[in-house]
Amino acid sequence: MTHAMSPVQLILPKRFADPRGWFMEVYSEPKFRERGIDCDFVQDNHSLSIPAFTLRGLHFQTPPHAQDKLVRCVRGRIFDVAVDVRRDSPTFGKWVGAELSAENGHQLFVPVGFAHGFLTLEPDCEVTYKVSALYAPECDGGIRWDSAGVDWPLPAGAEPILSDKDAQLPSLSDFSALFPYNGRPLGPLA
């Protein structure tokens, strides 16, 4: 593996298949460090979204409990997004997204300084993700789903299903960036 330039990375684990099914390695600390992903994961989270077009996000945790995330979909399909919210970043407010599914096995690494969210593309989606800091409610934050120009794959005229909390998040334009820029601008997903 080579060091990726973009801080947000699409990870494509290799599957080893035979007539019984398949096996894949979803996380290997040495292999991730080779990619420039140098964090210690301390908590795993698992969510179920029952209706299609449920949108969760766009979330982050602020310092001193900011989180790196490694996200994968273990049932169904989602459109997973990261938005740059780092102060002084030349790509502030830009986003990248990818379809993650149980079928494709892809994962998205979302580092500190990026708001994260996903839209379910079918019913009964389960998402798991590792985080590098424990949940700290006093550092919980986010921006409104429709304030960063994300091209969510919603059917024409449809609105996503949101939690009350997510519906009340501030817009990106009202957000005061608390995350420093580390010199790595957001780039396209490989």
| The token pair that represents 41 in the structure block | 């994961």
Task: Output the CA torsion sign for 141, 69, 80, 83.
Answer: positive
Determine whether 129 is an active site residue. yes
Residue 179 is inside which H or E element, if any?
Answer: strand 179-180
Amino acid at 65: H
| Sheet arrangement for strand 69-75 | 9-11, 107-110, 69-75, 125-131, 43-49
Catalytic one among 3, 116, 129, 135? 129
Catalytic one among 3, 27, 46, 59? 59
**Residue 147 CA: distances (Å) to CA of 15, 79, 85, 171:** 37, 17, 12, 5
Q: Is 181 exposed, middle or buried (0-12, 13-18, 19+ CB in 10 A)?
A: middle
Determine whether 106 is an active site residue. no
Compute the distance between CA of residue 141 and CA of residue 170 in angstroms, rounded to an integer: 9
Residues annotated as catalytic (active site), given as ranges: 59, 129
